Amino acid sequence: MSAKKTASVYYTCSECGASSPKWLGKCPDCGTWNSMIENQSPAPASYDKKKHIHKSELITIDNIPLEEQGRISTGISELDRVLGGGMVPGSSILIGGEPGIGKSTLMLQAASKISQQHKTTYIAGEESPGQIASRAKRIGAISGKLTLTTQTTVEELEQVLRKHKTRILVVDSIQMLHSPQAGNTPGTINQLKYCTYELSQWAKENNCIAFFIAHLTKEGSIAGPRQVEHMVDTVLYFENTEHNLRILRSSKNRFGSIDELGIFSMSAGGLEEVREISNLFLVNRAGELPPGVAVAPVEEGTRTFLVEIQALTVPSKTGLSRVYSGSIDPRQVSRVAAVLEKHIGLQFSSQDIYVNIAGGLRIKEVAIELPLAMALYSARTGINLPQSLAITGELSLAGEVRSIKNLSRRIKTARELGIKNIISPPAEQEKIAENFTPVRTIKEAISTIFGNKNN
């Protein structure tokens, strides 16, 4: 006689979703202490192989009919830009951000505009309908066509959506969804995975669009297991910077690029789009640049703008060099400092290095490396860079300055903002602009910029 099948107990990490058959003090995947939560899985149902045998067909990929991916505008051009040109029917979109940054405000504004053309439902899981209506009135997002529900049980919610033929769904927030199939407590790992999967599949089956609002953990990642991000088609992060700006960027997009930025400013009337950003991240100052400051033209998606890189070096109190950088990857800063130390002989191994981009913007592209090197050199030697100078270029470990994409566009943007001199890798067209100086190595760049000052 076979043993009776019973429910089993297992443990999952509340931070990353890793599971274990026994309790562990430290999660083996993410390293978080005391994060393992007890869960109980239902007894496995008996499986009748004969009942599940069915005919299956194989089809060659060239015989699969192609689907038209017509996009739908959100009515907010900065949001459309990050999504790759608009929303794709059948897609699911996850948007995360810190509390109070404006996730709900952005989606309420978008839902109000979308509802003018498509049936849109806003799921109020955290706030009362009165609170949402009050915010909508304050930011000018009142719409007689936008429907709202406080239903957060997935099975009943799907019935409501089918009855009213909803085309666009906004869930605020995903942590408040629950289903009896995944347990009794909302917000658990199982609930997040199950509810996200169910509504994502509902969107695909009904050719609709689902937005999920999610919270961030203290580490800056979306709360819940990583599987949630894999289930959806697009993952957006809403970030806060200085000057009351909000940056929207994508970390995953199955229907477009992840390089685009959406920039908003927060006001009493809600989020306002910021379309012109060419000089938004420059510091207005009179007189010479202080040591450690360099100006660089950078690209994010289809946008080109100037940023100010600020570097500071101070003797390390512990004798070991440390890098403090939230705007540029600290590993990239360490690599550039190592190149300077190797090829210029400028010592950084006993220095603490601080790097920042004016305005708090995070930059990932490699063209920031040459201007970063010049800012570090300036900070370490106390010699300031010349005014009206922009620097761009990738830096190799051999000390070579490598070519970058769209150099002419970067130079054009710098010219439009009054920058007279450009230091960059050699261009295909040497006469790309007046006062354009190509450099091939980091030594040549330092000699060209600082001249006799470094003697």
DSSP line for 344-396: T----TTEEEEEEETTS--B--GGGHHHHHHHHHHHHHTPPPPSSEEE--EE-
pLDDT value for 199: 92
pLDDT value for 201: 92
User: Alpha-carbon torsion 23, 197, 75, 108, what sign?
Assistant: negative
Quickly list DSSP for 286-349.
SSSPPTTEEEEEEEETTEEEEEEEEEEEEE-SSSS--EEESSB-HHHHHHHHHHHHHHT----T
Judge whether 49 is annotated as a binding position. no
- Residue 124 token pair: 């109020």
Q: Is 287 exposed, middle or buried (0-12, 13-18, 19+ CB in 10 A)?
A: exposed
CB-CB contact of 30 with 15 (8 Å): yes
Judge whether 104 is annotated as a binding position. yes
Q: What is the DSSP secondary structure assignment for residue 256, as one 8-state letter?
A: S
- Residue 395 token pair: 């830096």
- Residue 378 token pair: 């300036």
- pLDDT tens for the chain, residues 1 to 455: 444 445 577 787 776 667 788 888 888 877 888 878 777 654 444 445 444 445 557 888 887 776 666 899 999 999 999 999 999 999 999 998 888 888 999 999 999 999 999 999 999 988 888 999 999 999 988 888 899 999 889 999 999 999 999 999 999 888 888 888 887 777 777 888 888 999 999 999 999 999 999 877 666 666 666 778 888 999 999 888 766 788 999 989 999 888 888 999 888 888 999 888 877 888 888 778 899 999 999 988 888 899 999 999 999 888 788 999 988 999 999 999 999 999 999 999 889 999 999 888 888 889 999 999 999 999 999 999 988 899 999 999 999 999 898 888 888 888 888 888 899 998 755 455 566 889 999 999 999 998 755 54
Q: How far apart are the first and last CA of the chain?
A: 90
Closest CA to 191 of 234, 222, 228, 230: 228
Closest CA to 336 of 299, 315, 311, 314: 311
Beta strands 209-215 and 168-172, pairing class: parallel
Q: Is 400 exposed, middle or buried (0-12, 13-18, 19+ CB in 10 A)?
A: middle
> Rounded distance, CA 243 to CA 308, Å?
15
- Return the amino acid letter for 322: R
Which residues lie below 8 Å from residue 152, measured CB to CB, with a gap of 6+?
A: 123, 125, 176, 177, 178, 186
Rounded (10°) CA dihedral 251, 255, 261, 264:
-100
Instruction: Look up the pTM and report it.
Output: 0.76
Q: Can you tell me which residue has the tokens 């010592």?
A: 347
> Rounded distance, CA 405 to CA 393, Å?
9
Judge whether 103 is annotated as a binding position. yes
> Rounded distance, CA 263 to CA 275, Å?
7
CB-CB contact of 100 with 271 (8 Å): no
- Residue 235 token pair: 């993952």
- Return the amino acid letter for 418: G
pLDDT value for 355: 95
Judge whether 127 is annotated as a binding position. no
Q: What is the pLDDT of residues 400-445, one digit of tens each?
A: 999 898 888 888 888 888 888 899 998 755 455 566 889 999 999 9
Judge whether 369 is annotated as a binding position. no
Judge whether 368 is annotated as a binding position. no
Task: Give the C-alpha distances (Å, rounded to integers) separating 317 from 232, 320, 322, 351.
Answer: 46, 8, 10, 9
Beta strands 421-424 and 389-391, pairing class: parallel
